Amino acid sequence: MALWGGRFSQAADDRFKQFNDSLPFDYRLAEQDIIGSVAWSKALVTVNVLSAQEQAALEAALNELLAEVRSAPEAILSSDAEDIHSWVEQKLIGQVGDLGKKLHTGRSRNDQVATDLKLWCKGEVEVLLAAVRELQQALVLTAEQNQDAVMPGYTHLQRAQPVTFAHWSLAYVEMLARDESRLQDAFNRMNTSPLGAGALAGTAYPIDRDQLAGWLGFSAATRNSLDSVSDRDHVLELLSIASISMIHLSRFAEDMIFFNSGESGFIELSDRVTSGSSLMPQKKNPDALELIRGKCGRVQGALTGIMMTLKGLPLAYNKDMQEDKEGIFDALDTWLDCLHMAALVLDGIQVRRPRCQEAAQQGYANATELADYLVAKGIPFREAHHIVGAAVLGAIQQGKALEALSLETLKAFSPVIEEDVYPALSLASCLEKRCAKGGVAPSQVAFAIADAKGRLGM
């Protein structure tokens, strides 16, 4: 029986029921609905709606139901209940009879679902925070193991200046650290309880909502009943954070796909995260990374969807808001899977140091070093830039690297160039000079690794 049937003289059309029912996806809120119901039963004792004995009986029955849900959550789907709130109430009435009908006193499905979803989101934040930190730790370990792996850095996908594979890994640690910070901030903002806000105007019973919030693990109760039942900012924030983080993961995947390509050959991926071709026996495809890159759009689509759903809604609750759940359930599941998969990809990676170094020595990645050398000899940088550009052009015409040009040839571009130019053009010199904080100098990379390990408790 529907929770709202008394007003109606006709049964709902089966097609409408199928269209309207949310149990096929909001069954995932079963635990939260039961936990919220236990807390509400305690609140009803404080306003003399329930006796202590009645509350104890309800709590015992709800705890039995919670154990049942935890052991087989998908068994809920065999029910024809409209939503998870109806299912919990029907099961409770089946266990304790008419006493179960008293539990909903002073409560609405509007504040109930808002509470359930916030509780679920809080739990997911904790899981996601752990996964984000685990991936950061995997990247730090990768950096630690590859401090000596020199490779080209890129701008515009053109070889720019030499970096190390460790420095590249640490760049993604920084991105994920910001994702972690955003999750923590979002958790703090969502940590208020809507329960007791009723349908839109608050509950008619003098319940201490801050006490109720504390029982549920919230820091406080929400301040406005209209906002409480219609607020889905926590959904928007989590989807926004997921979308940003998935951009980071997609860029990570794209870099790795490029590094793994035959044209680069900087890394080899483990067989555990690659697949073959049904036609070409030689292929080893980076499917795990391609799927991470592909799923980025899926998560961003969920964010766009809920923004469009909410943008024109009047206060307070509207059934449109039922659309908040499928998107966030799928998006956060997808983000979590991608975080775990990225860590798995790193677990079996092999960095091909000789090939990385060979590539770093190509493309005139030490051109800036020659310009800095000229600056040290008293030539203004803009003039030095022009001189080095001409030198690079001459080297290209001869098919040689800058450091392979004779001193006589180099002096033709600038007479201040002496024999001491050659050490300045080495890869080691290129790295060591970048010794300011955040640079690619080995000392800075080692410092960054130690600092990251400290932050991550490694």
249-275 pLDDT, tens digit per residue, is 999 999 999 999 999 999 999 999 988
User: Distance between CA 327 and CA 409 in Å, rounded?
Assistant: 64
Helix 109-145 × helix 30-46 angle, to 10°: 130
According to CATH, where is 1.10.40.30 located in the chain? 362-451
Long-range contacts, 409-414 (Cβ 8 Å, 24+): 413/387, 413/388, 414/374, 414/377, 414/379, 414/387
| 161-174 confidence digits (pLDDT tens) | 999 999 999 999 99
Catalytic annotation, pick one of 9, 78, 156, 278: 156
Task: Name the active-site residue from 181, 277, 406, 443.
Answer: 277
Give me the residues paired with residue 350 across strands.
268
Confidence label for 14 from pLDDT (cuts 50, 70 and 90): confident
> What pLDDT score does 137 carry?
98
Residue listed under structure tokens 């794209």: 254
Q: How confident is the model at residue 368 (pLDDT cuts 50, 70, 90)?
A: confident
CA 262 to chain centroid: 30
Asked whether the CA dihedral 432, 438, 444, 448 is positive or negative, the reply is: negative
Domain with CATH 1.10.275.10 in the chain: 14-105
Provide the CB-side half-sphere exposure for 434 (13 A, CA): 18
Helix, coil or strand: residue 228: helix
CATH of domain 14-105: 1.10.275.10
Told to judge if 108 belongs to the known catalytic residues of this protein, a careful annotator would answer no
CB 195 within 8 A of CB 209: yes
Q: Determine contact, residues 61/115, Cβ cutoff 8 Å.
A: no
- CATH class of this structure's domain 110-147+162-357: mainly alpha
**Mean per-residue pLDDT of the chain:** 94
Active site residue 426: no
pTM of the model: 0.92
**1 pLDDT exceeds 80?**
no
Q: CA-to-CA distance for 82 and 86, rounded, in angstroms?
A: 6
Q: What is the pLDDT of residues 65-103, one digit of tens each?
A: 999 999 999 999 999 999 999 999 999 999 999 999 999
CATH of the domain spanning 362-451, picked from 1.10.15.40, 3.30.465.10, 1.10.40.30, 3.40.50.1390: 1.10.40.30
Report residue 280's pLDDT band, with 50, 70 and 90 as the boundaries: confident
Alpha carbon 24 to chain centroid, angstroms: 25
